[in-house]
Structure 1
Amino acid sequence: MPRYFIEVAYKGTRYSGFQVQNNAITIQSEVEGALAIKFGQTFQLTGASRTDAGVHALQNFFHFDTQADLFYQQYNKEKYTQQVLYSLNSILPGDIVITEIFEVREDQHCRFDAVSREYKYYIYRKKNPFYKDTAYFYPYTINFQILQEAASIILTTKDFTSFAKKNTQVNNFICTINKSEWVQENNFLIYNVVANRFLRGMVKGLVGTMLKTASGKISLEEFAEIVKRNNNNNTDFSAPSHGLFLVEVKYPTI
């Protein structure tokens, strides 16, 4: 059966997360609804990365299988695909956009075949009404050098039990972090992290606890101990979701 990937971007402010939930509006429920209206049939989507409520994405993916020949009904396949995208995006609300739909191998999986995910967390220091939905206002004193040192400590472990929220249902807490750094860019302080996988609440836990360290509430030694301790009793998950963006999901053949 043919399999298709859907690439999406969205502002997550209004949504209860990425994956479909009972009695909640999610990115998946909106995209499935648009597909059903366009093609007159139901679709069951599988997601690549389950962003939490309020988290945004510049790139995320779904895949689905269908017997229907969705995109080859006219001679000019590219033109027809663009018509499909236009129609779907006309149905979707303005804070979700489908950027691509394309056929892949029948065994290609948008979640399990992804080799890395990249997140960025945005912080702004001076009050600005245009940033309030997409970055965290943090006007307190921060030691940038300590932030960088804390980000480097994160690279020394693979067990992120300390940064997963309680009742996270996974087989293990092992993640391979390939990049962990803070940068200052224009009016933002940005945490950039790349890994093969992320746990529920992990990036917000990392950011909140690093900010606690850089603000002098705990020492770097205490931060390192939290990383090694493998429990989340002293992890700070208070960083709000609206500062977090899923930037890229990478595949070996996409």
Structure 2
Amino acid sequence: MPRYFIEVSYKGTNYSGFQIQQNANSVQVEIEKALKIFYKEDFKLTGSSRTDAGVHALQNFFHFDTESELADASYHLNAILPADIVVKKIFLVKPDNHCRFNALSREYAYTIYQQKDPFLQDRAYFFPYEINIELMQEAANELMNHQDFAAFSKRNTQAKTTICTIFSSKWEEKENVLTYNVISNRFLRGMVRGMVGTMLQVGRRKISLDQFINIIQSKDCTKADFSVPPQGLFLLKVQFPSL
């Protein structure tokens, strides 16, 4: 059966997350409604990368199967969708392409600002405290020496393994705005926010780098700090082999 990919972007503030959840609105629900309105057909969507409530995405994907021959109706779908969700394109792929399992990597960014700015309040985390960026970079580098990230995985996850491969992990600072960029083959539930929150503890000298390493090695999520809010987190890119 023919398979289609949908590339989307969205501001997650008003949604309970990327995929369908009981008794809560999600990005998937809105896209499925728009597809049904335009194509007059029900589609069962499979998501690429789950994002939590309030998390944003510059790029994410769904796929679905249909016997119908579909033209890319992005313009019309965007007229139906809420302003905070955009369909970038719909395109035909090989039937065995899976938007979740075929993805090679995902890239996330978490942004922190340290001077009050009304234009960042719903897209970044206001954190007006003194932090040592060099210590945080040391912690970011350390993450690449590990593969088991159970310590940064929230409980009640459906993941069968907590093993991940981090390809890049770095902090950047520009005009009082700090951004943490991380690329991995996969991410666990709450993983980026857990890493960021715990690295901030290193940056504020609340814990040492050795204690940070001990938290990773403990595989105990109660030792990590997941307190950073969702609005600072963006899924930037999902990388696939040639589609």
SS at match of 1:233: helix
**Aligned-pair CA distance for 1:185:** 2.9
Give the aligned partner of residue 134 of structure 2.
Answer: 145
Give the aligned partner of residue 19 of structure 2.
Answer: 19
Aligned mate of 1:195, from 170, 174, 184: 184
Give the aligned partner of residue 101 of structure 1.
Answer: 90
**Aligned-pair CA distance for 1:11:** 0.2
Give the aligned partner of residue 81 of structure 2.
Answer: 92
Map of 1:82-231 to 2, 5 A cutoff? 84-231=73-220
Once residues 17 and 101 of structure 1 are traced to their aligned partners in structure 2, the CA distance between those partners, rounded to angstroms, is 21
Once residues 133 and 20 of structure 2 are traced to their aligned partners in structure 1, the CA distance between those partners, rounded to angstroms, is 38
SS at match of 1:57: strand
**Aligned-pair CA distance for 1:187:** 4.2
Task: Work out whether 1:242 is the aligned partner of 2:231.
Answer: yes
Once residues 186 and 60 of structure 1 are traced to their aligned partners in structure 2, the CA distance between those partners, rounded to angstroms, is 29
Amino acid at match of 1:13: T
Map of 1:66-85 to 2, 5 A cutoff? 66-71=66-71, 81=72, 84-85=73-74
SS at match of 1:171: coil
SS at match of 2:87: strand
Greater Cα offset, 177-186 or 48-57 = 177-186
Tell which structure's C-alpha radius of gyration is larger. Answer: 1
Q: What's the RMSD between the two structures over aligned residues?
A: 0.8
Give the aligned partner of residue 75 of structure 1.
Answer: none
* Runs (4+) off by over 3 Å: none
Task: Work out whether 1:57 is the aligned partner of 2:57.
Answer: yes
**Aligned-pair CA distance for 1:193:** 0.2
* TM-score when normalising by structure 1: 0.94
* Number of positions where the alignment pairs a residue of Structure 1 with one of Structure 2: 243
Once residues 38 and 197 of structure 1 are traced to their aligned partners in structure 2, the CA distance between those partners, rounded to angstroms, is 33
**Unpaired runs of at least 5, structure 2:** none
Aligned-pair identity in percent equals: 56
> How far does the alpha carbon of each residue in 1:51-79 deviate from its partner, in whole angstroms, 9 at most, with x for none?
000000000000000011112xxxxxxxx
